[in-house]
Structure 1
Amino acid sequence: MLCSPFSQSCDAQRIAEAAIRQHVWRADELSRSRTLSASTGYECLDAELPDKGWPQSSLVELLVQQPGIGEMHLLRPALAALSKTRYVALIEPPHRPNAAACKFLGLTCSNILWIRAPTTANALWAAEQILRNGSCGAVLLWQKNIRTEALRRLNLAAQSTDTTFWLLRPLSAAADASPAPLRIALRPSAGGISAEVIKRRGPHHDQPLIIPLAKMPARQRFLDEQNAVLVQRSSPSTTTRVRQAALV
C-alpha cells in the first residue's frame, strides 16, 4: 500500500521533533546531560541537581564560607566510592591531609595524592594536566583568586575526561562570573551544613538545603568530655582521715 506524500512528511516531522526535544530543556525544568554522575549520598541534594548527583566531565564550584565547616564530609560518599579504584588528587588543600581523618571519611589512603604548589599558576597547571590525562577519578582544587580565563581552561579540561572535578573557593567568589554549570554555596549549620545551589541548569533554587553530617570522632570525644561527670581528687590528709574513721 502506497503512502501519500503528505503522511510521509508528517511522520518525518514527528521524528525530527522527537529528536530535537531530546536536546532541548525548559528553563523551569532541571536539565539532563549526557555525562555520567555519581550520587552525592544525600537524597535531598540529589533531587536538586540536574544529573541527580555530582556530574563527571564538568567543573563544579563549591563556595565555602570558611575551611573546615564540613565540605569534605559532604563529599564523603562520592570520594569514598571513587578512591576504592582510582586516585583522588588534593591540590593545595588548606590543611595537611590526615590519615585518621581519611580513614573516617572512608577514603583509601594509598589512592590519595597530595599536591603542593608554590604558586597559583602551578596549582592551575597541575589541575589541568591531571584532568587532561584522566588518571584520577576525582580532583579537588583549593584556590582563592582565579581569573575567568583560567576557569574556562579548567572547564574545558574537565569536559575532556570522566574525572569528577571540584573547585573550592571562598564564598565571596559567588559574586564573580564563572563558566561552571554548577555552583553551590556552603555555610555551617547546626548538626550539618547548609548547601545553597546558586547556579544550575534549571530553575532558580530559593531555599538552602540543610544536610545533616556525621560528627568527627575528635569532636564527639570533645562533647563527651564536656558532659563527663567532674571527679575531684581529695587531698592526702583527707584520705588518711577517712581511712582512720573506717577502722574505728
Structure 2
Amino acid sequence: MAGKTDALADLLERDPRVWRGRRPESWRAPVIPSGHAALDAVLPGGGWPAGALTEIVAPVQGIGELRLLLPLMRRIAGDGRRLVWVAPPFEPYAPALVQAGVEIGRMLVVAVADRRRDLGWAMELLLRHPETGLVLAWPRTLPPAVWRRLQVAAAESGALGMLFSAGAACGTTAALRLNLGICEGGLELRILKARGGFGGARVRLML
C-alpha cells in the first residue's frame, strides 16, 4: 500500500496536467510586486503576474484604480521600459503623475480611431514591442480570439497588460481578475480569478 501511495504522490507532483487544488506556495511564474504589502500577500507569487493580462473590474471610473497602479508605473518606468496608455477615457494628468514619482518621459498615450476595431490590434502590437513594460487599456468588449492573442503577445514579451472593464468579460484569458469597490479611506479588492490559486480573497487598501 505504501508503494502505491508513493507512486501516486510522485505522479501528482510531476504531471503538469494534474491540478492539485489550491497550492499558491508552489507558484513559479514571474511576478512584479504591486507595491502594496497587503495585496501581495493574497496574490499568487506575491505580485502582479508578468507576461500576462490582468483585468480590473470597477463599477465606475476614477475610484482609485490608477492610484492602485502607481507603484507598478514607477517600477516599470524606473526600469527603463515604456508605459503605454491605450485609448484612456480621460487625458492622463502629467503633473499628478510626476508628483507621484512616475517618469513620464517613458510614457506614451495612444488614441484609436475605432475602439471596437483598433484597440485590440494596437494592444497586441504594443505588448509585443521589446521596450514595452506595461500596457493600460480600457476596452468596452473584446472577442475571445483577441483575448487569446493578447495573452500570447504578453507571454512572449514578458510585458504586463492591464485592462479596465465595467463588468463580466466574455472569453477572458486574464491570468488575474480583480473587482474594485470603495471602502472608507480607500479600496476593497476582491480576487475573482487568479492563476495558481482560487479567487475569493479580499483585501482593503488605504490609498
Q: Is TM more than 0.5 here? A: yes
Structure 2 spans left out of the alignment, 5+ residues: 1-6
The letter for the 2-side match of 1:200 is: A
In 1: Cα distance, 2:96 partner to 2:75 partner: 16
Listed as ranges, the matches of 1:209-248 within 5 Å are: 209-213=203-207
In 1: Cα distance, 2:160 partner to 2:25 partner: 18
Which has the higher relative contact order, 1 or 2, with Cα contacts under 8 A spaced 6 or more apart?
2
Aligned length: 200
User: For the aligned residues, what is the CA RMSD?
Assistant: 2.5
- Whether the 8 Å CA contact 2:12–2:18 is kept in 1: the answer is no
2:132 aligned residue (127, 133, 136): 136
Structure 1 spans left out of the alignment, 5+ residues: 1-12, 214-248
Aligned residue number for residue 153 of structure 1: 149
Q: Secondary structure at the match of 2:60?
A: coil
Per-residue deviation at 1:35?
Answer: 3.2
Per-residue deviation at 1:204?
Answer: 3.5
So what's the TM-score if we normalise by structure 2? 0.86
Query: Which is further off, 106-115 or 36-45?
Result: 36-45
The letter for the 1-side match of 2:123 is: A
1:200 aligned residue (179, 194, 204): 194
Aligned residue number for residue 92 of structure 2: 97
1:71 aligned residue (52, 60, 65): 65
Q: Secondary structure at the match of 2:34?
A: coil
- The 1:38–1:209 alpha-carbon spacing in structure 2 relative to 1, beyond 3 Å, is same
- Whether the 8 Å CA contact 1:117–1:123 is kept in 2: the answer is yes
Aligned residue number for residue 112 of structure 1: 107
Per-residue deviation at 1:23?
Answer: 8.1
Deviations 1:132-179 (A, max 9, x none): 223211111111121222111111111111111111111x225x4422
Query: Which is further off, 19-28 or 141-150?
Result: 19-28
Say whether residues 1:183 and 2:174 are aligned partners.
Answer: no
- Whether the 8 Å CA contact 2:32–2:47 is kept in 1: the answer is yes
- Whether the 8 Å CA contact 1:29–1:203 is kept in 2: the answer is no
- Whether the 8 Å CA contact 1:38–1:55 is kept in 2: the answer is yes
Aligned residue number for residue 54 of structure 1: 48
In 2: Cα distance, 1:147 partner to 1:102 partner: 32
Aligned residue number for residue 127 of structure 1: 123
Deviations 1:78-111 (A, max 9, x none): 1111111111000011110111121133210111
Find the structure with the greater CA-based Rg: 1
Deviations 1:14-36 (A, max 9, x none): 9x759717886521222745432
Per-residue deviation at 1:203?
Answer: 2.5
- Whether the 8 Å CA contact 2:143–2:171 is kept in 1: the answer is no
